[in-house]
Amino acid sequence: MQRTDMTETPLHASEFRRIMKVLFSRGVVVFGIVVILALFVTAIFAPWIAPYDPYKLDLNQTLVQPCKEHLLGTDALGRDTLSRIIFGTRTSLMVGVVAVCIAASVGMTMGLIAGYFGRWVHAIIMRFIDALMAFPVILLALVIAVLLGGGLRNVMIALGIGLLPAYARLMCGQVLSVKENDYFLAGRAMGAGNLRIMFRHVVPNCFPPLIVLITMMMGLTILAEAGLSFLGIGIEPPGAAWGAMVNDGYQYLLTHPILSFAPGFAIMLVVFSFNMVGDGLRDALDPRLRGVL
């Protein structure tokens, strides 16, 4: 009865079980979930998992090929690649989570307001969103990051702004379709206030596709962060980020390909996992596939 709006999963228990069943019956989805969980564990426990200090230079051991002491070798400054990849997990996940949170919260609020109030409010907000959408995400993030200056925090803000249009558009569309339902009219007819209708009736019914988008966007955001740090915008030099590692390593691509390939593979694995889980969620939440899956 006293259900709070958006925090609790709005899905009904039996429906929730069905979704879980569909999700876990797929190999790649389970694989993706396992990888994502492992990634979070790695990020949290990085100092204990990493065999070496990722920042420690060892000029006697530069560009070591993979061996027993250094499983993935060392880079030009003698830092252990594996340890740097493990610490890079922190950067990637943090940027991913924070940027997606910024994009989702701001974008969804804008979409909710635009869709709910319609008319000129809709026109103003959505034209602004269209303007943002006109630029490629990376380019937009690049410009914002340059304007704000480098650093992890600004990259997160830049990506958050760059990815916001997708959420705003989807949310707006969802709100418009929920508004067509009679229960929306019922709320208005009984004189319920705007906030009550929004958070009690509209938002909970908008959620399923947004959950999918959030999952899929995690992969995209991490990829975008890697792209930005490859381009040299993002984390400051000693810090470990996968994109920056790919960039550092590619000067030695012919002799020491592992330096670029290892972080590249990590990026690929993460993006693939998030996409697979997102795909699985999309199918599981699609009411048209209910019964088929």
Q: How far is the CB of 41 from another protein (least distance, A)?
A: 33
Phi, psi of 74 (to 5 degrees): -130, 160
The contact set with another protein (CB under 8 A) reads 1, 3, 10, 12, 181-183, 185-193, 196, 200-201, 204-205
Q: How far is the CB of 278 from another protein (least distance, A)?
A: 22
Question: Among residues 149 and 287, whose Cβ is nearest to another protein?
Answer: 287
- CA neighbor of 69 nearest in space, from 77, 15, 61: 61
Question: Among residues 204 and 239, whose Cβ is nearest to another protein?
Answer: 204
Q: How far is the CB of 225 from another protein (least distance, A)?
A: 34
Question: Among residues 187 and 243, whose Cβ is nearest to another protein?
Answer: 187
Instruction: Collect all residues with Cβ–Cβ distance below 8 Å to 229 and sequence separation of at least 6.
Output: 91, 155, 235, 241, 242, 243, 244, 247
CB 205 within 8 A of CB 182: no
Question: Among residues 34 and 186, whose Cβ is nearest to another protein?
Answer: 186
Q: How far is the CB of 204 from another protein (least distance, A)?
A: 4
- Which tokens go with 11? 């899905």
Q: What Å distances lie between residue 123 and 21, 88, 130, 163, 291, CA to CA?
A: 41, 41, 10, 20, 39
Question: Among residues 49 and 192, whose Cβ is nearest to another protein?
Answer: 192
- Going by the DSSP 8-state scheme, the letter that residue 74 receives in this structure is B
Q: How far is the CB of 173 from another protein (least distance, A)?
A: 18
Nearest-10 Cα torsion for 206, 211, 213, 219 = 170
Query: How many of the other CB atoms lie within 10 Å of CB of 146?
Result: 12
